[in-house]
């Protein structure tokens, strides 16, 4: 697997129907031509992703929106202009040029403009949008570095466009529409309250969804192979695991934890945005440490902390 910053190389692979891992501000995506049945089949096969789980389509700019979506609500345009490029996915009625396999047979498609200079340049050089779920095996921890992608998909894709660490670190917030009114499908890097400040109250749908309306709605996801526990009291949980090799994820270490445990602080200053950026990297590090269990602290339930807890809950789901 080649890795680098050559946009021309990534473009060549994509035009030939292959897959490229692309950096975004959220996580790395596994990208293919959104108009190509062959490329989309390859995405599902490479990720081992079930075909009932739809993909997000990445476009170059807001002006491209009406080329792949139709009957777009006014509030969708408002959000697109407010937050794109950025960590917001809009689920809209699709046009016929988006293959049904991209949307798991649904009449709607998730769309966003990613906020990363390399990927924006790549998109501007292509005459097709990119379908791009996270560049990891289905259900596993999302990748926030090119190295994560290399470890997980080694030998399976042609090129990783290396854009460094993903600054947001958790996936996009997903908003759909019902009779023109917004619905939250997934908490993400843009806190719900920021969106509601622009367009008013938003209905939240249940994530426990066997046939999801949008990506990221399955109840079990983002999971390490090591047993994973989410708790409000790390010390109380640690007492349940005697003579075990334990990894611990905390926002900030406020009380000492025994030195035999591998403890990772997400933010020494308890900054929740920094914690989000470091979350998946911490999970990858601990999952590679041959531990008996990983114990994660529940984060403050505000701002992007809601999205972090959402990912931790799904990782801990049995």
Q: Are residues 198 and 249 in the same domain?
A: no
Determine the pLDDT at residue 213: 60
Q: Which residues touch 128 (CB under 8 Å, ≥6 apart)?
A: 33, 34, 35, 36
Give me 148's structure tokens.
Answer: 């994560």
33/176 Cα distance (integer angstroms)? 23
Other C-beta atoms closer than 10 Å to the C-beta of 261 total 16
Determine the pLDDT at residue 317: 87
Determine the pLDDT at residue 215: 65
Question: Quick one: pLDDT band at residue 1, thresholds 50, 70, 90?
Answer: low
Determine the pLDDT at residue 222: 78
79/176 Cα distance (integer angstroms)? 11
Task: Report long-range pairs for 39-45 (Cβ below 8 Å, ≥24 apart).
Answer: 39/14, 39/131, 40/99, 40/101, 40/102, 40/131, 41/101, 42/17, 42/18, 43/19, 43/131, 43/132, 43/133, 44/101
Determine the pLDDT at residue 220: 57
Q: Are residues 26 and 120 in the same domain?
A: yes
> Which CATH number do you get for residue 6?
3.90.870.10
Q: Are residues 86 and 174 in the same domain?
A: yes
> Which CATH number do you get for residue 312?
3.40.50.11030
Rounded mean pLDDT, 307-316: 95
Helix (H) or strand (E) segment spanning residue 123? helix 117-125
Tens digits of per-residue pLDDT, 228-269? 999 999 999 999 998 999 999 999 998 889 889 999 999 999
Q: Are residues 175 and 285 in the same domain?
A: no
Nearest to 309 by CA among 232, 213, 196, 210: 232
Question: Quick one: pLDDT band at residue 153, thresholds 50, 70, 90?
Answer: very high
Rounded mean pLDDT, 109-131: 98
- Please identify, among 170, 204, 238, the residue that sits at the C-terminal boundary of a domain: 204
Determine the pLDDT at residue 45: 97
Determine the pLDDT at residue 208: 52
Determine the pLDDT at residue 12: 97
Residue 177 pairs in a beta bridge with 182
Residue 280 lies in a domain: yes
Determine the pLDDT at residue 223: 86
Determine the pLDDT at residue 277: 98
pLDDT greater than 90 at residue 171: yes
Assign 3-state DSSP to the chain and report helix, strand, coil percentages, each to 5. 30, 20, 50
Residue 60 lies in a domain: yes
Q: Are residues 198 and 251 in the same domain?
A: no
Residue 147 lies in a domain: yes
Determine the pLDDT at residue 126: 98
Q: Are residues 137 and 283 in the same domain?
A: no
- State the first-to-last Cα distance of the chain, in angstroms, to the nearest integer: 33
Tens digits of per-residue pLDDT, 31-54? 999 999 999 999 999 999 999 999
Chain centre to alpha carbon of residue 287: 18
Q: Are residues 161 and 250 in the same domain?
A: no
Q: Are residues 66 and 139 in the same domain?
A: yes
Residue 220 lies in a domain: no
Number of domains forming the structure of the chain: 2
Residue 134 lies in a domain: yes
Q: Are residues 247 and 130 in the same domain?
A: no
Provide the residue range defining the domain that includes 293. Answer: 228-316
Residue 240 lies in a domain: yes
Nearest to 21 by CA among 201, 108, 142, 102: 142
Give me 238's structure tokens.
Answer: 């640690």
- pTM of the complete model: 0.94
Q: Are residues 175 and 268 in the same domain?
A: no
Q: Which residues touch 125 (CB under 8 Å, ≥6 apart)?
A: 7, 11
Other C-beta atoms closer than 10 Å to the C-beta of 149 total 28
Q: Are residues 154 and 86 in the same domain?
A: yes
Residue 40 lies in a domain: yes
Q: How far is CA 279 from CA 76, 167, 248, 287, 311, in A?
A: 29, 11, 12, 12, 9
Residue 211 lies in a domain: no
Determine the pLDDT at residue 124: 98
Q: Are residues 59 and 107 in the same domain?
A: yes
Percent of the chain's residues with pLDDT above 90: 88
């Amino acid at each position: 697997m080649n890795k680098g910053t050559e946009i021309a190389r990534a473009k060549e692979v994509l035009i030939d129907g292959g897959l490229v891992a692309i950096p975004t501000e959220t996580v790395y995506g596994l990208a293919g031509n959104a108009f190509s049945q062959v490329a989309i089949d390859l995405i599902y096969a490479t990720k081992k992703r079930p075909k009932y789980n739809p993909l997000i389509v990445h476009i170059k700019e807001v002006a491209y929106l009406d080329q792949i979506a139709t009957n777009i609500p006014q509030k969708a345009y408002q959000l697109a202009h407010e937050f794109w490029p950025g960590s917001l996915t809009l689920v809209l009625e699709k046009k016929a040029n988006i293959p049904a396999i991209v949307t798991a047979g649904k009449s709607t498609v998730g769309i966003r403009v990613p906020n990363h200079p390399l990927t924006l340049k790549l998109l501007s050089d292509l005459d097709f949008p990119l379908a791009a779920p996270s560049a990891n095996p289905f259900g596993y921890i999302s990748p926030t570095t090119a190295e994560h992608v290399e470890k997980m998909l080694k030998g399976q894709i042609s090129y990783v466009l290396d854009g460094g660490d993903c600054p947001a670190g958790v996936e996009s917030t997903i908003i759909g529409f019902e009779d023109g009114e917004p619905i939250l499908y997934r908490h993400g890097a843009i806190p719900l309250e920021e969106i509601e400040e622009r367009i008013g109250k938003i209905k939240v749908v249940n994530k426990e969804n066997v046939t999801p309306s949008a990506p990221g709605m399955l109840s079990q996801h983002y999971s390490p192979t090591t047993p994973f526990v989410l708790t409000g009291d790390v010390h109380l949980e640690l007492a349940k695991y005697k003579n075990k090799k334990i990894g611990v994820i905390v926002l900030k270490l406020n009380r000492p934890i025994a030195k035999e445990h591998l403890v990772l602080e997400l933010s020494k200053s308890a900054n929740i945005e920094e914690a989000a950026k470091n979350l998946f990297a911490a999970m990858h590090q601990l999952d590679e440490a041959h531990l008996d269990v990983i114990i994660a602290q529940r984060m403050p339930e505000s701002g992007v902390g809601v999205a972090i807890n959402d990912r931790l809950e799904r990782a801990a789901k049995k």
